Structure 1
Amino acid sequence: MSAITPGPVTLAPGENQCSRQIYTITQSDMDAGQVDNTATATGNDPDDVEVSDTDSETITVVKDASIEIVKSADHLPTMQQGM
Structure 2
Amino acid sequence: MSPLDTVRSHIEQELQDKKINLTQFEKISGINRGVLSATLNSNPPRSISINQLDRMAAALDRPEGWLYEQYVYRNVLI
Structure having the higher Rg: 1
Q: Which has the higher strand share?
A: 1
Answer 1 or 2: which has greater helix percent.
Answer: 2
* Normalised TM-score (structure 2): 0.19
TM-score by length of 1: 0.19
Greater relative contact order (CA < 8 Å, ≥ 6 in sequence) = 2
